[in-house]
Structure formats: C-alpha cells, structure tokens
Amino acid sequence: AQSVTQLDSHVSVSEGTPVLLRCNYSSSYSPSLFWYVQHPNKGLQLLLKYTSAATLVKGINGFEAEFKKSETSFHLTKPSAHMSDAAEYFCVVTFKYTGTASKLTFGTGTRLQVTL
Amino acid sequence: DAMVIQNPRYQVTQFGKPVTLSCSQTLNHNVMYWYQQKSSQAPKLLFHYYDKDFNNEADTPDNFQSRRPNTSFCFLDIRSPGLGDAAMYLCATSSGGRVPYEQYFGPGTRLTVT
C-alpha cells in the first residue's frame, strides 16, 4: 500500500520570500513521485517528477524538490514566491497499476497563498 | 503543441437529465483516465482505458459510464445526474508501459446540476 501526507493544508508567504511545501510518502516499492499544481478552475499541471535518478529534481517556474529516502520526504521549494504561484499543490506517488496503466495516489493538497 | 482537450469547459444539466463530457488528446497515449474532483478535494479516479480495455474503479457508481471509440477520444456519460454529481471532471492520459507513468491532465469540465 502507498500513501501521501501533505503536512500543511494552507501555506501563506509574502511575495519574494521562499516557499516550502512539505510532503511525506509511504510506498512498498521504489516510488515515482510528482508535484502537480492546480490554479482555480483549471486542470492539473505537472511541476516536476522524481524517477529514481537524481535526488534533487528541478521543475518548471523555478520550483524544485528533493527526494530523501531516509526521511521518506519529497518537499517542494522555491527560492522566491511570485503572485502567480498562488494555487493548490498536490504531492502524488504512483506505481504500476494494471499492465501498463499507472495509478496516482494524491495527497490532500496544500493551498499556497502569496501576499504583497 | 500536444495536449489534452476537454469540452465543454462548463456544463449545466438538470437533475436526472443525461449528460456527456468529451475528452480528446493529441499525445497518442494508450491510457486515458477520468477523474471526479469536488471542491477542496483531491481528484478521485473513476475509471480508465488502456487502449480499448475498460477498467472501472470498485467504488465508481453505475450511473457513470465511459466510451472510447478510438485512441484520441474518450467520453464520460452520466446517465441520471444527481445534485451530488456536481463537480469538476478531469480527463488525463499517460503513455502506458513507461516509467515514470506521469499523467497529463486536461483543463477540466465543471458540471453544475440544477
């Protein structure tokens, strides 16, 4: 069985300050891990992915995440928040589902608020 | 650009009146998924197709059906919508058989039931 825990349901930062969104996972297998972002009334956009290569993963829009196996964590960071980063962020773990389909296990989401 | 397209973006239907939501993709992916997402919740998988093979989630109500006439298109049919079916419906695709199995999402259709 696998699960994802997003430790904060809501994070508020000032524009220009660092962002940290926390995620812990549990998986029986070597996991593939993702962060998705969802802006209001929009679909989910893939920010970055970890696939057992480099543990520090760089994504779009200046985001990055570090896979720490010893801590079972995959926290998302950004050095400087921008107003456009305000959105819902989902940490996701996946495994091979049926023969070739994948099944995503979502965290409960973290709403990021960015203030002036 | 390759993408996942959903139509319409907003759909209003009446209680009990059948409705169909549409998804198309230009990624040529084998797998297509339908998710239901209610307010402030994570998406919930309803079912998926791998090519023409249909895979239903155990807790998906019988009221929800799907069709995939070809690789590019997939439809979600709600036979008798109830007020509790009002939600965002997301279509996603993935390339079957490849690591890391990420899914690519469309913009969603927001369904309102009156």
- As a whole number of angstroms, the distance between CA A85 and CA A78 comes to 10
Number of residues that this document lists for chain B? 114
Question: In this complex, do B55 and A98 lie within 8 Å of one another by their Cβ atoms?
Answer: yes
pLDDT at position A105 over 80: yes
Question: In this complex, do B43 and A106 lie within 8 Å of one another by their Cβ atoms?
Answer: yes
Give A108 to chain B, closest Cα distance, Å. 6
What pLDDT score does A97 carry?
Answer: 55
C-alpha distances out from residue A36 to B75, B80, B84, Å: 24, 32, 26
Give B79 to chain A, closest Cα distance, Å. 24
B90 touches chain A (CB under 8 A): yes
CA of A88: which chain B residue's CA is closest? B40
Work out how many CB contacts closer than 8 A connect A with B.
Answer: 71
Break chain A down into helix, strand, coil percent, rounded to 5: 5, 55, 40
B8 touches chain A (CB under 8 A): no
Q: Over the range B39-60, which residues count as b (16 or more CB within 10 Å of their CB) and which as e?
A: eeebbbbbbbbbeeeebeeeeb
pLDDT bracket for residue A104 (50, 70, 90): confident
Report the percent of chain B where pLDDT is more than 70: 95
pLDDT bracket for residue A1 (50, 70, 90): confident
pLDDT at position B86 over 80: yes
C-alpha distances out from residue A83 to A11, A21, A38, Å: 13, 16, 14
